[in-house]
Amino acid sequence: MGSQGLGITFLTLPLVVRAAAGGQWCYDSQDPKCGPSHWKELKATCGGDKQSPVNIDRRRLQRDSGLGDILFEGYDQAPPGKWRLANNGHTVVLSLASELASEHITISGGGLPSRYRALQLHFHWGSPAGNGSEHTLDGHQLPMELHIVHINVKYRTLAEAKGHPNGLAVLGFFFQVSETPNANYNTIVAGLRNVSQAGDSVDLASTFRLSTLLPHAGQLSGYYRYQGSLTTPDCSEVVVWTVFEEPVEIGREQLRAFVSTLHFPAAGPTLLKMTNNFRPPQPLRSRKIFASRAATASGGSPCRGCHQLISPLLLLASLGPFSPTP
């Protein structure tokens, strides 16, 4: 299906970042010289004491009875207007609203210190040889991770929110590979072909319900909470993190589209596939990770998807080049 059939407008945006260039950050898969271990040289905050992601060790969690259900408002409605899908040179981002947009998609409750409105969502993934979630569960990395970034409604801009310890709230969701596609991700996956190059963007002709991207509502009570940071520079330590226990299912071919379709900014004549765009877990130091009332703690049941660590993606490599369904 072409872009007309998808109802999207193709745009090309000026590149904001150039990987491996002086003063810029990147992932090790682009150039180890500007990868995560060097970020603190660019931004001192990236070497702080409250960095993200972290490993969630369920044997060492602290149960918090105050962490009940999170209230998702507007997640079950498709808001008016358009959403933009873009390759920003580091990941693929779906912009949900401008910083000054009206508050129509929000989260609150569940021990959150305020009400937060959604700004954007993006993904982190691995390569044909391995998984790529940022957070790990009991030391295991899962195939992919979704982050939905929210801003505290007290603040008008992202820059203002970064000046406060609880300025942002990010929801993290793990993925596990399924034999069948997740139809709720078809629009995003189909749009990837039009944002293959860094700086590319497409406007989706219509929005959809964000709730369709998440596990079923009845499976959102189990989550983990801690105070952390953005997982990319400037690594601001202003994020209330909520990482959900229940993974989202995604089809093998859908995951393969992320791994094989997108590219980092070109540093030469050869295009570089966007793979392994994750930051490794950071030291927890003196922080505690709290388990919600419904979450698994103290070892509990094995994490779903943890045994898919490499084998599903190795299978992807054997399938040959990705070809979107017409």
What's the sign of the alpha-carbon dihedral 215, 228, 123, 125?
Answer: negative
Residue 324 lies in a domain: no
**73-90: b (≥16 Cβ within 10 Å) or e:** bbbeeebeeebbbbbbbb
Residue 325 lies in a domain: no
| Residue 90 among the catalytic residues | yes
Residue 45 lies in a domain: yes
Q: What percent of the chain has pLDDT over 70?
A: 83
Residue 326 lies in a domain: no
Better-scored residue on pLDDT, 174 or 79: 174
- CA dist., res. 116 & res. 169, Å (int): 7
User: Where residue 102 falls among pLDDT bands split at 50, 70, 90?
Assistant: low
Residue 119 lies in a domain: yes
pTM of the model: 0.87
What's the sign of the alpha-carbon dihedral 161, 164, 168, 172?
Answer: positive
265-272's contacts with Cβ under 8 Å and 24+ in sequence apart are 265/15, 265/17, 265/18, 265/19, 265/89, 265/198, 265/199, 266/197, 266/198, 267/18, 267/19, 267/20, 267/21, 267/30, 267/31, 271/197, 272/29, 272/30
Q: What is the pLDDT of residue 265?
A: 96
Q: What percent of the chain has pLDDT over 90?
A: 76
Q: What is the pLDDT of residue 81?
A: 80
Residue 291 lies in a domain: yes
Number of residues assigned to the chain: 326
Number of domains in the chain: 1
Q: Which of 27, 75, 116, 155 is catalytic?
A: 155
Q: Report yes or no: 45 and 237 within 8 Å, Cβ to Cβ.
A: yes
Average pLDDT taken over every residue of the chain: 87
Q: Which domain holds residue 21?
A: 3-317
Residue 70 lies in a domain: yes
Q: Which of 90, 122, 135, 147 is catalytic?
A: 90
User: Where residue 149 falls among pLDDT bands split at 50, 70, 90?
Assistant: very high
**Range in 99-108, 201-210, 262-271, 284-293 the model is least confident about:** 99-108
What CATH number should be reported for the domain holding residue 188? 3.10.200.10
What's at 52, amino acid-wise?
S
For residue 277, CA distances in Å to 132, 186, 208, 291 come to 7, 22, 26, 27
